[in-house]
Structure 1
Amino acid sequence: MTVFIMVGGVFTGAQVWQETAALLTAAGSEVHPVRLTGVDAGRPAPPADVDLETHIADVTAAIDAVDAASGREIVLVGHDYGIHPVLGAVDRRAQRVARVVYLDAGMPRNGVPALAAVPDQALRARLAEQAQRGDGEDALAPPARDEWQRWGSTAGLSDAALDRLTALAAPQPLGTLLQPLRLTGAVAAVPVTGILCTRNGVSVDMLQRLVDFGDPGLAALTGPQVTFFELLTGHWPMLSCPAELADVLRRAAAGGGRRLRPAGADEPPAHLRPFPLDVPEPPRDRKGHVDFHVPAAEGPRPAVVLVHGGPVPAGARPTPRDWPTLVGYARMAAAEGMVGVTFDHRLHDVADYERAAADVTAAVELVRADPRVDADRVALWFFSGGGLLAADWLEKPPVWLRCLAASYPVLAPLPNWGLTGSRFRPDRAVAHAGALPVVLLRAGRETPEVAATVEAFVSAAEGCGAHLELVDVPNGHHGFETVDAPEETVPALRRAMRSVVTHLTA
């Protein structure tokens, strides 16, 4: 028999697990949703007296309450914030635990408080500032019914489920978010399963791409004891799809699930595979973090500035300006008589969009100041997660920006990025694009979470009469240049580049 010990996320107590617990019990498991001090009814405490160690003690007590002589395997499930007290308890009782399940949760690190995982970046900054000053409230009030989206995707929640989530919510003692998690390392020996709620913005394929970038912090996810499942729902699956969650938890306890491939294990990762077009190699001039791919043409030439996606780990090598896809686009531009530009910006985390935007502006200024470039004829071309950086240029297009292009872009923040109130909303900024031509390469087999942002952008562009040209790759996937057949992608690449060049030379 498996014993499931389940710990809820921020604002939620044991009651949130009711349906899932009943289903697991009916299937023969023993289930113990943990009642957290200062959060659950029946476990009252002044918020100022409750911190992360308090909740770690609650979870440790739940482990200790299971008879060690029974031979039953203990599986701990941590949802959202709940993974922090789960890991703290498992670190102290590693020999008692068969598996840890991260349910739509981050990857806590030793010495880092749970505040670092709060998705709302503005709220996170405010709480951190208050903690430094030593003032502010002792507990964080739960969201109102229409505010849950700031904490995760509510996709899949019925009106009744959202009402129930709101009714069950309790203030979160701030000490639970501000006290650093302390780990000895013992937890590293315990097998792990991650359950990703894809409507909240993360999928197994996305994780694989991050691993392929060479992020050393994610290398542990490729170990033989780590598996993954996906649920096509938002951030609260215990309310939106309890039966599916119960099924996945049983399979996780049995060691099932997908595994990630170590970076470069079998073949080059997608972002380092060859570009599908054999394009002549023009001279390349490197100025700081900016590379100029210069055509054999007289006089200042229009420029195509390529803005890579992300987040890309700071230690990734090669850096994006040397990736085959970006270099391939730059060479295509040079073959058309344009200056193709690749550069590196500092989008290493979803909290980095402000500084990445500043990097884009600085690179564009450097490009326009170069004597080989016609400063009045520049196009910006955005890729993947870099698509959010297009918002500033759509909001107030400068006269010299003759075209804006994007390939499989993210055009609105994903739910778990914590950017709900930020300016990085191309789907809204396009209403101010005016006469700026926009060329959008759309992947027909895009991941659903990214495709939703693209469709929102297209709908907004059509609604405001923006000058939008769609170039579809019907069977293309995210990053289609190096993952799909050339006969599918090459015609779209040529058409899009031809359109951009036409706008630059008109």
Structure 2
Amino acid sequence: MTAFVLVAGSHTGGWVWREVAGRLREAGAEVYPVTLTGMGDRRHLAGPGTDLETHVEDVVQLIDHVEAPEVVLVGHCYGIHPVLGAAGRRPERIARVVYLDAGMPQDGDPALTLVPDGTVRDRLLGEGEAADDWRVPPPAADEWQRWGSTTGLSETDLARLTRLAAPQPRGTLTQPLRLPEAATALPTTGVFCTANGNSIAVVEQIVGLGDPRLKALVDPRVTFFDLDTGHWPMLSAPGELAGVLLKAAAGEGYRLSATVTEQPSHLRPFLLDVPERRRERIGRVDLYLPDEVRDGAAGEEPRPAVVFVHGGPVPAGARPTPRDWPAFVGYGRYLAGLGAIGVTLDHRLHALTDYPRAADDLAEAIELVRADPRVDEDRIALWHLSAGGLLTADWLAAPPPWLRCVAASYPVLAPLPSWGLSGSRFRPAEAVRGAGRLPVVLTRVGQESPEIAVTVEEFLTAAADCGADVEVVDIPNGHHGFETRDHTEEARQAVDRAARSVLAHLRG
């Protein structure tokens, strides 16, 4: 008989597992929902000294009183911190650790480092405004989305979440996690709530980039599941969650180890067979030059330029860097073959918190390109791909006169809920209202992940409302990153159509 120990996230308690626990018991499992000290109906036990160590000991004590020889520990959001701390002290009792829409904290990480929203982090770190500042107040009814996607929650669910939420002792979020090696050696399962912005497909792409921090995920004892709901699946999809937990306990789930041995999709060949072009490398910027362009001598006509902006986050140590990926090399050569100067760059979007730095890198690269005598400084287009789509926001909100077109391929056009950028300026779906008559060429793939597709539709709705000039190039059978995944005539024609449309705006 499987025994589950369920540990909820911030501000909640054992009550949040009620429906899931009932379904697990119906399936014959033992279930122990945990209410941590200071949370739920134990909020009166909290004090200034209540910290992460207190919550780790709560879980350890419960494990010690479970008669089953092994237990499955489930940690939701913040709950993964006390779960991992307890697993390190009782590894012989743990059959599996389940990360339920949770981050991957490392030794020494406080929980606040994994809080997605910067406003919430600032509140946790800031000085208290009242004498009772050792407690962090729970979110108001309209603030839960700052902690994660509320997709799937009814008004009743949100009201219940708000009514039963408890203040969180600050020390539980700021005390560093002590993670013994024994805890990291246990079998694990990751459950992604896709409406919150993560999924198996996203993790597979990140692992393919070579991030050493994620190397452990290819262990065959590590499995994954997707749940098509928001950040609180125990309320929005209790039946589906219970089913996934039972499968996880049985060792089922998707494994990355069988797929990462293949060549990562971003390193596969470009879908068009383009001849080599002269390339010049200046710092983080590469220029692909048409054959007839030489050294910018007097009388030589300057050419329009198209700057390609990669997505990410891309680990700082990833090699090759994005400008040497086949898709960007292919795009640069292709635009040079059409008579423009193709530009690629490496910007420093190494983490989701790096968008401001990446925006600065892009602005610096554009100034470098515009200063080149071979470039017509008044005819520039920007072409953003994937998560680089968020970097369109600055240019859409206040287009400079030299910017003749913005293009975007399979873009992310609004921050995903788990990215913590809800209050930032990187919101193209809002910025497009300032675009005026700036042309936008958007390549949309029909096989996009739902969490990204919804941001595209949000953008297109806003664009239609304000009369923005948006041309959509559809690839019904295309996938995210189609240039190296879909070598089809449909995809080739789409690249050619989008490129020629961008050039028409540059030359118009």
What TM-score bracket applies, with the shorter chain setting the length?
over 0.9
Aligned pair 1:145/2:147, yes or no?
no
Q: What is the percentage of aligned positions where both structures have the same residue?
A: 62
Q: Once the 2 structures are TM-superposed, how far is the Cα of residue 280 of structure 1 from its aligned partner?
A: 1.8
Query: 2:103 corresponds to which letter in structure 1?
Result: G
User: C-alpha distance in 1, partners of 2:164/2:319?
Assistant: 47
User: Which residue of structure 2 aligns with residue 74 of structure 1?
Assistant: 71
The equivalent of 1:161 in structure 2 is 157
How far apart, in 2, do the equivalents of 1:114 and 1:400 lie? 45
Aligned to 2:291: 296
- 1:398 aligned partner: 400
Please list, as runs of the form range in 1=range in 2, the aligned pairs for 1:257-296 lying within 5 A after superposition: 257-261=253-257, 265-266=261-262, 268-296=263-291
Q: Is the 8 A contact 1:211 1:262 kept in 2?
A: no
- Counterpart in 1 of 2:363? 361
Q: Is the 8 A contact 1:119 1:417 kept in 2?
A: yes
Cα distance between partner residues in 1 of 2:125 and 2:366? 34
Residue identity opposite 1:13 in structure 2 = G
Length-normalised TM-score, structure 1: 0.97
Which residue in 2 is equivalent to 1:55? 55
Question: Which residue does 1:100 correspond to in 2?
Answer: 97
Aligned to 1:13: 13
Write the letter of the residue equivalent to 2:2: T
8 Å CA contact retained: 2:57, 2:86: yes
User: Post-superposition shift, 1:165?
Assistant: 1.1
Structure 2 unaligned regions, length at least 5: 293-299
In the TM superposition, what are the counterparts of 1:26-41 in structure 2 within 5 Å?
26-41=26-41
Aligned pair count?
A: 501
- Counterpart for residue 190 of structure 1: 186
User: For residue 465 of structure 2, what is the aligned residue in structure 1?
Assistant: 463
CA–CA distance in 2 between the matches of 1:500 and 1:401? 11
CA contact (8 A) 1:433 1:466 kept: yes
CA 1:126–1:140 in 2, change beyond 3 Å: closer, same or farther?
Answer: closer
| Cα separation, partners in 2 of 1:462 and 1:362, compared to 1, 3 Å | same
For residues 355 and 367 of structure 2, the distance between their equivalents in structure 1, rounded to whole angstroms, comes to 18
1:319-338 to 2 correspondence within 5 Å? Answer: 319-338=321-340
Once the two structures are TM-superposed, the CA of residue 36 in structure 1 deviates from its matched residue by 0.5
SS of the residue 2:480 aligns to: coil
Q: State the SS of the aligned residue for 2:306.
A: strand
Q: Distance in 1 between matches of 2:40 and 2:431?
A: 42
After superposition, give the CA deviation of every residue in 1:223-242 in whole Å (9 maximum; x if it has no partner). 01100011110000000011
1:207 counterpart letter in structure 2: V
Separation of aligned partners in 1, 2:47 and 2:454: 40
Q: Is the 8 A contact 1:211 1:263 kept in 2?
A: no
Identify the residue that residue 224 of structure 1 maps to in structure 2.
220
Residue in 1 that maps onto 2:295: none
- Select the residue among 121, 124, 127 that pairs with 2:124: 127
Deviation at 1:178, TM superposition (A): 0.2
Distance 1:326 1:263 in 2: 24
Measure, in 1, the Cα distance between the counterparts of 2:164 and 2:21.
16
Q: 1:35–1:43: 8 Å Cα contact kept in structure 2?
A: no
Measured at CA, do residues 47 and 412 of structure 1 come closer, stay the same or move farther in structure 2, by a change above 3 Å?
Answer: farther
Cα deviation, residue 44, structure 1: 2.4
Compute the displacement of 1:482 (Å).
1.1
Aligned twin of 1:371: 373
CA RMSD of aligned residues (A): 1.6
Q: Residues 303 and 378 of structure 1 are in contact (CA less than 8 Å); yes or no, is this contact kept in structure 2? A: yes
Q: Which amino acid aligns with 2:462?
A: A
On the 8 A contact 1:403/1:503 being kept in 2, the answer is yes
Report the alpha carbon displacement of residue 123 of structure 1 after superposing the two structures with TM: 2.5
How far residue 126 of structure 1 moved from its aligned partner, in angstroms, is 4.5
Give yes or no for contact 1:16–1:168 (8 Å, CA) kept in 2: no
CA shift for structure 1 position 48: 1.2
1:300 positional shift: 1.4
Query: Aligned residue for 1:433?
Result: 435
- Contact 1:120–1:418 (CA<8 Å) still a contact in 2? yes
